[in-house]
Every structure is written in structure tokens, then in C-alpha cells.
């Protein structure tokens, strides 16, 4: 047994120029060495320590030892990296063993330190390692060590390859052997980088299993229980899976042609909300469509929002004959079914109770944990994505939202200090005061402008019924009775509301008109505003949070309803793609238009979940952690959760619509968010599989000199633009067209 010098541990791996990024400023970075240390001669592999040691903590002797080991410790001074000449560094399969060629010892590392940024964790206390290789978009690759104890959160470690003598030598030697690639390919990244050797070395001492749910996440010495959460393909799949009779053609012709007619109608000045509602009330629509609209379950939706009536009427005016043709065209495609079944297994999309329970959400972020994300100057000391991941999986306690929401919504940039945010707030206060003064001082417009009067009436009407069951917006019984009896009188606008908080909401909505005159106020916007004010209790902050929220939500309210149309079409395709059995059942009973989701998507489930659950749901959506359209996967999760009941017990349109409507108030958002995440991950895997296979088929066809093979042209089997867009985290911005004198109100 090798004797160690007193108080020393043996270096098994060392990498120089590894940094902690404490803030967005380079001057605050902490430079050090990432090491794997054997603390005692008798230490087992599980007792080895992975440690970050700042350069400033090292004695001259230890620094010299680590600098040498970084350059020559694993390869020697005369051996070519990964070359056949280095036989003593190769294992039986001809790969470099990544074992030390020299013996170097340093002081046993600290597992934690109050006086410095040093930290360490033994392998037996390490749960997982998150790896982000260097790419064209990431100048530095990084790793994050996740200990088994959730409270022991460790910062990200960034590999500055261009500064590390060891990494530069390794890259040079690999190029000489015409092998510039990494041993651990992640996300398709294959070029060598500093963190790749760390993984290769660690594999000598621990079993690393990459998660199939999250690329780059490696479980360390994982147990069967750990694998259930991260490697779903080993789950019990004894239940019959969904019939993955996936459809490749979603009839874009139907949707495009239909919508051209509808948007054409919307452009006619006379075709306004009042005309649509009059046509419905006076039974002027075709009989079959009129009967459809008059069903109680449909009325329950359309009575909530005028735009639902317009959407439904426009859709119904043109869809009946086309839907019959569409039903014949969508017959399913065995190509997808065979591909998914062969590569991912039957029942891949099914979510087992065990799978859902193992991926359950974590405790909400409290004030102490939120504050730990920032340094003493209020600078973020983690990456933005790390914070977004925490918010996505945990949500926020109420006391944290006032600080967190402005960052999530983009009111404040993430790379600001606390003092800079304070200064920015003063600027925002001045700007808001200017917008508010503009309309308050323009008495002529208030008295004579028809559009202004229309906006006033709409805002007043909606605020009277916005969250009056919440104490902040409620009135006393006597005041409520008098307020309910009061009709809006434009000539006598002295006291619209008895509740001062509703007056604040009114002023914010009037002021928003100043910066978005083209859109103006549209029914439903008050639903988006009230939770913001509930959190901030401040007029200025609420205004700017609402303005940023509306940037992504404006497409829900544009006059031609094209934003909502796109989302409804995408949701329909998503159901066809992920839940084909359910879609076929809905289609059988004329419920495949998914109209019951119109209201839910319009205001992000504000009317379907409790006021407090709404806040948690929205802050998760604001992270855009997986997709900027993750709300569609939340809707998909509702259908997936209830699909068996719908298929097995509901045999008619009325029953299906009533069942979905009755879910309002009983949705478990924690469970649904978990399901939505799992469904997104499965969706991404399916898309990637189809893309890989399409590329393979295309390559084979090119080689064979034939445009197609037995499976047909592979281009026919690619994923639609709408579905592919669900993989993007970029927020979709759709602005209303310029308002003219011919533009109808509302």
C-alpha cells in the first residue's frame, strides 16, 4: 500500500482554469482547479473527493503539483494523447485508461469553507452531474455537481479551455493523431473540451448513467429507484399502450383555406362582435350550425368571452363540408407507428402512475433560497437557466413573487445589481406617470372620442366582474348591491367603483391604451392584470409587468383571431401526434376541433384553476424552460390524464364537452405540470427520432440515386412546422395591425 505524506491526498485528476462565475462581470470570476482526490491510502472509490480549489487557497507546493498534473499527470511528458504508442495508458479495449501516470500529492481538500469559495463532495454523496459541453453558442462548457442532499447546492463550474495549459496540450496532441473528438458525446457535441476528460476519469471510479429524459444529466452510481425517475424505458410497461397510429398529414389545406375565408370576413367593417351575436341571437346561421352553437355546453364557453362566439361562428360557417372531406383524408400513417414502436417501444407515450410520482414537483422556492441565488450586491451568481429550472420545477412562495416576477417577465434584466434595479424602477415610475397623465389630461378625447368611450365601457364592464371573490377586489355587501345596480353612465363618471383597487386596475388599463392604441382593451385582459396587482400592490410595477406579459399574450387578442387559430391548430396536431386514439374518438363525436380549450388558452386557464394556482401556473410558463408554448403541453396533459375515461365512457359530443367543462375548479396543476413535462420530453424524443430516420432515408436515397424508397419520400415523414415550433423557447410576438378610422371597435 502506497504511503501518503502526512495530511496529503493523492491527485487522480486535475484541471486548471476552471472558474466560478459569481456575477455577469468577468472581474468577479473565481479561478481554480477541479480535482479528484484520494484522501487516504485506504479510501475506496466511493470515498474519493471531487473538489474545486481556488488558486488563492493553494500553497506554492500544491499549486506546482497541480500545474504539473494538469499538463502531464494522465499522459506523461513524452506520450502522445490517445496514441497507440502509449500502451501503458491503454486499457484492454485500446482506450486511454485515464489513470495517473505520475504520483502527486496535495493537502486534503476542504468539503466546504467559510473563508473561501472552495468546496468538495465525496462520490458516495454525489447524486448526479449535469454537463453542458462547449458549443458555438456556449463559449465555455460547464458542469454542475448535484449532491444527494438537496440543500447542499453547488455552483456551476466553467471550463475556460482557451486559458488551460492542460486542455490546450490535450487538444494539440489529439489533433496530431487525427482524433479531435470527445469520448462523451452530448447533444450531438463531439469536439473535445476540458470537461470531457473529467467525465472519462470519473468513469474509472464511479458508474455514470446518462438520463434519457434530460441530455447531459448523468446519474452517479444510480440505484434502481433513481433509474425509475431518469430512465423511463426500464419502467414497467405491462399496460396496453396507446395505439400509436400517428398521422403524418394534418390537412394544412383545410386549415389554411378555411382561415383565409374567416380572416376575410374579419376585415369587413360591418362584421363585428355585435353582428355575430345578432346572427346567433336571431337564428340567422345555417340550421346545423345554429343548433351546434345553441347547445348549453357551447353557450357556457361563448357567454364568457365575445371572441369565443366570433371564433366559433367563423369556424362553423365554413367547416362542415370541409370537415367531412378532412375526415376521409386523415387515415393514419403506419410509418410513424412502426418507427416509434421499433425504436421507443409500444406504449411509449403512456404515463404510468409510478413515472408521474417519481417526477413530482418540489417544494416552492422560499425567500431564503431565492436570496441565495444572488450575491451581496444583488447580482445573479448562477446562470439564468439554472434559476429558471428551479422556478419551473418548484414554483415560488408568495413572498418571493414581488422580487422574482419582474425578472421572469423581463421588466428588469437578469444581469443587473440591486442598485441598478432600484434606479431602473425610478425611470419606470416616471415613464408610467407620463402615460397616465396623457389620458387624464385629455378631457376632450374623454368626452368626444367614440373609441375612448367604447374602451371605457368595456373596461368598466369587465372590472365589475373580475375576481370579486378575492378580498383585495371585493366590496361590502351594501356597496356590492349598489354597484351591481349601477349602469355605466359616460356623462356621470364620478364613481365607477367603490373598491380603490379596481380604480387602480382601471387606470392601468387606460394607460396601457396609450402605448398600444392599435390593440386597445379586449375582453379578458383584466383577467391577466388582476393577479399581477395582487402580487405587487403597486400601480407602476403592475403596469410594467402587465405590459411585458401582454407582449407574449397579444396574439391571443388580435382582431382576426389568427393567434388563437394558430394555437388551436397546433394543439389539434399535437393531440393527433401524441394521443391518436383519443383524437379518433373525439373525431367520431365531432369534438375534435377542441373548442373547449379556446377559453382556457385565451387567458391561460385563469377561469379553470384557483386564483392562487393561476399564479403558480403562470410563473412556470414565464420561464420558457422547455418551450415558449408549454401551455399547449399543459392542455395536452389534461387530455392525457382523462383519455381513458373519455374513450371508455363518453359516447357523445354533449357528454365530452360537459365532462371537460366540469373539470373547471378541480384541476391539479402540480400533477398536470409534471405530466406536461414528461409529455414534452417524450414529444422531443419522438421528433428527434423521426428527424434522424428521415435524414437516414434521404441519405440512402441520394446514394441509390432514387428519390424515394419503399417507405416513400422521407420528406413526407418530417414533422410539421407547427409541431416543430413547440421545441423553441423563443417567445412568439404577434402585434395587432394598425388601427384606422375604418377599424371596428372591440
* The pLDDT of residue 578 is above 60: yes
Q: Which of 81, 111, 76 is nearest to 95 (CA)?
A: 81
CATH topology match: 8-79+101-176+189-225 vs 329-359+558-699+715-738: no
Higher pLDDT, 87 or 280: 280
Is CATH 1.10.3720.10 correct for 8-79+101-176+189-225? no
Give 183's pLDDT tier (boundaries 50, 70, 90).
confident
Higher pLDDT, 304 or 503: 503
Joined grid coordinates for residue 742: 375604418
Q: Are 575 and 638 in contact (CB under 8 A)?
A: no
Give the pLDDT confidence score for residue 543 in this predicted structure: 95
How does pLDDT run across 680-722, given as a tens digit for each residue?
999 998 888 888 877 777 776 666 655 444 444 444 456 778 8
Q: Domain 381-479+494-553 is in which class? A: mainly alpha
| Report for 218-232, 301-315, 337-351: range of highest mean pLDDT | 337-351
Q: Which residues contact 357 (CB under 8 A, 6 or more apart)?
A: none
Q: What percent of the chain has pLDDT over 90?
A: 34
Name the strand (E) or helix (H) holding 15.
strand 8-20
Q: Which CATH superfamily is domain 329-359+558-699+715-738 in?
A: Ypt/Rab-GAP domain of gyp1p, domain 3 (1.10.472.80)
* The pLDDT of residue 547 is above 50: yes
Name the strand (E) or helix (H) holding 105.
strand 105-107
Give the pLDDT confidence score for residue 313 in this predicted structure: 46
> DSSP per residue over 365-401, as a string?
B-HHHHHHTB-TTS-B-S-HHHHHHHHHHH-B-HHHH
How does pLDDT run across 684-695, given as a tens digit for each residue?
988 888 888 777
> DSSP per residue over 316-367, as a string?
HHHHHHHHHHHHHH----HHHHHHHHHHH-TTTT---HHHHHHT---PPB-H
Q: Cell 407547427, residue?
A: 722
Higher pLDDT, 111 or 542: 542
Give the pLDDT confidence score for residue 690 in this predicted structure: 82
| Report for 23-27, 83-87, 335-339: range of highest mean pLDDT | 23-27
Give the pLDDT confidence score for residue 177 in this predicted structure: 65
Spans of all domains in the chain: 8-79+101-176+189-225, 256-318, 329-359+558-699+715-738, 381-479+494-553
What is the rounded average pLDDT of the residues 510-531? 90
How does pLDDT run across 383-433, given as a tens digit for each residue?
999 999 999 999 999 999 999 999 999 999 999 999 999 999 999 999 999
What is the maximum span of the chain, computed from C-alpha positions, in angstroms?
96
Joined grid coordinates for residue 670: 402540480
Q: Is the pTM of this model over 0.95?
A: no
How does pLDDT run across 590-646, given as a tens digit for each residue?
787 787 888 889 999 998 899 999 999 999 999 999 999 999 999 999 999 998 888
Give the pLDDT confidence score for residue 417 in this predicted structure: 92
How does pLDDT run across 267-318, given as a tens digit for each residue?
333 334 444 455 555 554 445 455 555 555 455 444 555 554 444 444 433 3
Give the pLDDT confidence score for residue 31 in this predicted structure: 94
Amino acid at each position: 500500500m502506497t504511503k501518503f505524506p502526512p495530511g496529503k491526498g493523492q491527485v487522480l485528476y486535475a484541471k486548471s482554469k476552471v472558474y466560478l462565475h459569481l456575477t455577469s462581470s468577468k472581474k468577479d470570476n473565481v479561478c481554480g482547479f477541479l480535482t479528484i482526490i484520494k484522501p487516504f491510502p485506504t479510501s475506496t472509490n466511493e470515498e474519493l473527493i471531487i473538489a474545486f480549489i481556488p488558486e488563492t487557497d493553494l500553497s506554492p507546493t500544491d499549486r506546482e503539483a497541480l500545474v504539473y498534473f494538469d499538463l502531464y499527470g494522465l499522459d506523461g511528458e513524452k506520450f502522445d494523447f490517445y496514441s497507440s504508442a502509449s500502451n501503458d495508458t491503454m486499457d484492454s479495449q485500446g482506450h486511454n485508461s485515464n489513470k495517473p501516470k505520475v504520483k502527486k500529492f496535495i493537502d486534503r481538500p476542504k468539503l466546504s469553507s467559510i473563508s473561501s469559495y472552495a468546496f468538495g463532495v465525496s462520490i458516495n454523496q454525489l447524486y448526479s452531474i449535469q454537463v453542458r459541453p462547449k458549443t458555438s453558442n456556449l463559449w465555455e462548457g460547464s458542469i454542475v455537481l448535484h449532491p444527494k442532499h438537496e440543500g447542499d447546492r453547488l455552483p456551476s463550474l466553467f471550463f475556460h479551455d482557451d486559458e488551460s495549459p492542460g486542455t490546450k496540450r490535450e487538444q494539440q496532441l489529439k489533433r496530431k493523431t487525427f482524433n479531435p473528438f470527445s469520448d462523451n458525446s452530448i447533444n450531438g457535441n463531439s469536439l473535445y473540451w476540458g470537461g470531457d476528460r473529467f467525465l472519462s476519469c470519473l468513469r474509472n471510479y464511479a458508474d455514470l448513467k446518462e438520463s434519457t429524459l434530460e441530455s447531459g444529466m448523468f446519474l452517479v452510481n444510480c440505484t434502481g429507484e433513481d433509474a425509475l425517475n431518469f430512465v423511463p424505458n426500464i419502467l414497467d410497461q405491462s399496460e396496453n399502450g396507446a395505439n400509436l397510429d400517428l398521422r403524418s398529414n394534418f390537412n394544412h389545406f383545410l386549415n389554411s383555406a378555411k382561415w383565409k375565408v374567416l380572416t376575410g370576413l374579419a376585415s369587413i367593417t360591418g362584421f363585428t362582435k355585435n353582428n355575430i351575436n345578432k346572427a346567433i341571437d336571431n337564428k340567422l346561421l345555417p340550421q346545423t350550425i345554429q343548433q351546434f352553437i345553441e347547445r348549453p355546453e357551447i353557450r357556457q364557453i361563448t357567454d364568457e368571452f365575445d371572441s369565443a362566439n366570433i371564433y366559433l361562428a367563423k369556424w362553423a360557417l365554413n367547416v362542415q363540408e370541409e370537415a367531412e372531406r378532412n375526415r376521409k383524408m386523415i387515415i393514419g400513417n403506419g410509418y410513424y407507428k412502426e418507427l416509434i414502436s421499433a425504436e421507443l417501444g409500444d406504449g411509449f407515450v403512456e404515463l404510468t402512475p409510478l413515472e408521474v410520482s417519481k417526477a413530482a414537483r418540489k417544494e416552492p422556492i422560499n425567500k431564503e433560497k431565492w436570496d441565495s441565488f444572488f450575491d451581496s450586491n444583488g447580482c445573479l451568481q448562477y446562470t439564468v437557466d439554472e434559476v429558471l429550472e428551479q422556478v419551473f420545477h418548484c414554483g415560488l412562495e408568495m413572498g418571493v413573487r414581488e422580487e422574482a416576477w419582474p425578472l421572469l417577465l423581463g421588466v428588469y434584466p437578469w444581469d443587473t445589481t440591486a442598485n441598478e434595479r432600484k434606479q431602473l424602477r425610478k425611470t419606470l415610475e416616471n415613464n408610467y406617470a407620463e402615460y397616465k397623465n396623457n389620458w387624464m389630461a385629455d378631457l376632450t378625447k374623454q368626452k368626444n372620442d367614440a373609441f375612448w368611450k367604447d374602451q371605457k365601457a368595456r373596461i368598466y364592464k369587465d372590472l365589475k366582474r373580475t375576481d370579486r371573490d378575492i378580498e383585495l377586489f371585493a366590496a361590502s355587501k351594501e356597496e356590492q348591491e349598489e354597484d351591481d345596480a349601477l349602469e355605466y353612465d359616460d356623462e356621470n363618471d364620478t364613481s365607477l367603483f367603490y373598491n380603490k383597487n379596481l380604480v387602480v386596475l382601471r387606470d392601468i388599463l387606460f394607460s396601457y391604451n396609450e402605448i398600444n392604441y392599435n390593440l386597445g382593451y379586449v375582453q379578458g385582459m383584466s383577467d391577466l392584470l388582476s393577479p399581477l396587482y395582487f402580487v405587487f400592490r403597486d400601480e407602476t410595477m403592475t403596469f410594467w409587468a402587465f405590459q411585458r406579459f401582454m407582449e407574449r399574450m397579444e396574439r391571443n387578442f388580435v382582431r382576426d383571431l389568427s393567434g388563437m387559430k394558430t394555437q388551436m391548430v397546433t394543439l389539434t396536431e399535437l393531440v393527433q401526434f401524441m394521443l391518436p386514439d383519443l383524437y379518433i374518438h373525439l373525431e367520431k363525436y365531432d369534438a375534435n376541433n377542441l373548442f373547449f380549450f379556446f377559453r382556457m388558452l385565451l387567458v391561460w386557464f385563469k377561469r379553470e384553476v384557483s386564483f392562487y394556482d393561476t399564479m403558480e401556473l403562470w410563473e412556470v410558463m414565464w420561464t420558457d424552460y422547455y418551450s415558449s408554448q408549454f401551455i399547449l403541453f399543459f392542455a395536452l396533459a389534461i387530455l392525457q390524464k382523462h383519455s381513458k375515461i373519455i374513450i371508455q365512457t363518453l359516447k357523445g359530443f354533449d357528454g365530452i364537452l360537459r365532462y371537460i367543462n366540469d373539470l373547471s375548479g378541480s384541476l391539479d396543476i402540480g400533477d398536470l405540470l409534471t405530466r406536461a413535462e414528461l409529455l414534452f420530453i417524450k414529444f422531443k424524443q419522438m421528433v428527434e427520432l423521426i428527424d434522424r430516420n428521415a435524414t437516414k432515408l434521404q441519405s440512402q436515397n441520394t446514394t441509390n440515386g432514387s428519390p424515394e424508397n419503399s417507405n416513400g419520400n422521407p420528406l413526407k415523414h418530417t414533422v410539421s412546422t407547427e409541431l416543430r415550433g413547440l421545441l423553441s423557447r423563443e417567445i412568439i410576438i404577434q402585434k395587432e395591425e394598425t388601427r384606422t378610422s375604418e377599424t371596428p371597435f372591440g
